[in-house]
């Protein structure tokens, strides 16, 4: 490899911006002791619900050298998905939340991150192109890229590298960018200059805690009972949504953005410029009646390349019925 550690570090950050990422932070690749304790406690309380995979590969999840032997650095990156326009259906015109007079979204529907093409594929392409160009500039090294696709504690790595703090809603929040971004990582066997965490800016604010319809966020914040989260109920839960959540879904049929909608820091969110994340015209034109009468062939057409496909037709149809009854 050529160039000094400082040169390589700056090159990584410059290339990240060039390839469309909002920013990049770098941490030393090492076992996450404190985070391991918190994860174990969270799992022991059953907050992962039916997400059994969260308990798998524990050591791999907290130690990047188990994923990339000889790893020295973890590069954490952000990729914006805040939409240029809102996907209004299935509850056209219904708006509830606003932040500092900025109306952010309709109440309910499909979470913003799932409007367009599956982010795993889009962001992975960007990561691979970034790594390829980095190798062309400085020489060969061993690296793996991750986009919510392996046991990587992405929010914790992003926090360690100063890309934001983990807020009371348990999402990563950046003081100038909000929280509407995907997280991605490059774990590599190259030494770089390491960044430092920034302080928590949630203060006394409890907007996310107060707004969560299912009370999934603990009263003090910073802990999420995943088994109560609307995103879990509409995506991860394989069985029928329990009747105890009737009337609490706030019209969400895939995912949920409430704790982000009410977060004051998202007044700094700016529209992405990634065409792949834009909703199709057909999706934008869906009416409440269309959702109620959704057929498998329409589901396949609407969501063939989107994250919604992961839930599957039967799950989405069941959720629509549960929410709209």
- Alpha-carbon distance 315 to 253, whole Å? 10
Catalytic residue status for 148: yes
- Going by the DSSP 8-state scheme, the letter that residue 174 receives in this structure is B
Angle at CA of residue 66, ends 63 and 69, nearest 5°: 120
Q: Give the H/E segment covering residue 128.
A: helix 119-138
Half-sphere exposure of 102 (CA within 13 A, CB side): 13
CB atoms within 10 A of CB 228: 20
Task: Quote the CA–CA distance of 244 and 264 in Å, as a whole number.
Answer: 30
The pair of three-digit structure tokens given for residue 189, joined into one six-digit string: 């066997």
Q: Which of 41, 63, 148, 243 is catalytic?
A: 148
**Maximum distance among all Cα pairs of the chain, rounded to whole angstroms:** 63
Output the six-digit token pair for 135: 């190798």
Phi and psi, residue 155, nearest 5°: -65, -35
Cβ atoms within 10 Å of 187's Cβ, excluding its own:
23
Q: Residue 151's closest CA among 63, 216, 221, 86?
A: 63
d(CA 273, CA 265): 20
CA 322/CA 213 separation, integer angstroms: 15
Q: List the catalytic residues.
A: 148
């Amino acid at each position: 490899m050529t160039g000094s550690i400082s040169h390589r570090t700056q090159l990584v950050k410059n290339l990240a911006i060039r390839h469309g990422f909002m920013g990049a932070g770098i941490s030393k690749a090492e076992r996450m002791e404190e985070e391991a304790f918190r994860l174990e406690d969270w799992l022991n309380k059953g907050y992962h619900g039916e997400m059994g995979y969260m308990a798998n590969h524990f050591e791999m999840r907290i130690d990047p050298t188990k994923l990339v032997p000889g790893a020295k650095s973890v590069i954490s990156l952000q990729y914006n998905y805040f939409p240029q326009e809102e996907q209004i259906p299935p509850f056209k015109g219904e708006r509830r939340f606003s932040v500092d007079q900025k109306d952010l979204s309709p109440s309910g529907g499909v979470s913003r991150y799932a409007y367009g093409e599956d982010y795993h594929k889009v962001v992975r392409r960007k990561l691979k192109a970034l790594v390829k160009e980095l190798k062309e500039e400085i020489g060969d090294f061993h690296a793996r890229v991750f986009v919510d696709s392996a046991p990587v504690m992405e929010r914790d790595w992003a926090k360690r590298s100063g890309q934001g703090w983990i807020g009371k809603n348990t999402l990563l929040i950046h003081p100038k960018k909000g929280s509407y971004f995907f997280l991605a990582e490059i774990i590599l066997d190259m030494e770089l200059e390491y960044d430092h965490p920034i302080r928590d800016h949630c203060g006394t604010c409890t907007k996310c805690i107060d707004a969560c319809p299912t009370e999934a966020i603990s009263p003090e914040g910073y802990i999420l009972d995943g088994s109560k989260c609307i995103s879990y109920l509409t995506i991860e839960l394989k069985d029928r949504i329990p009747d105890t959540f009737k009337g609490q879904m706030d019209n969400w049929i895939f995912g949920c953005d409430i704790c982000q909608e009410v977060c004051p820091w998202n007044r700094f969110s700016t529209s992405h410029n990634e065409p792949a994340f834009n909703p199709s015209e057909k999706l934008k034109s869906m009416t409440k009646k269309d959702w109620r009468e959704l057929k498998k062939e329409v589901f396949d057409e609407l969501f063939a390349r989107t994250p919604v496909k992961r839930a599957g037709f039967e799950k989405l149809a069941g959720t629509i019925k549960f929410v709209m009854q």
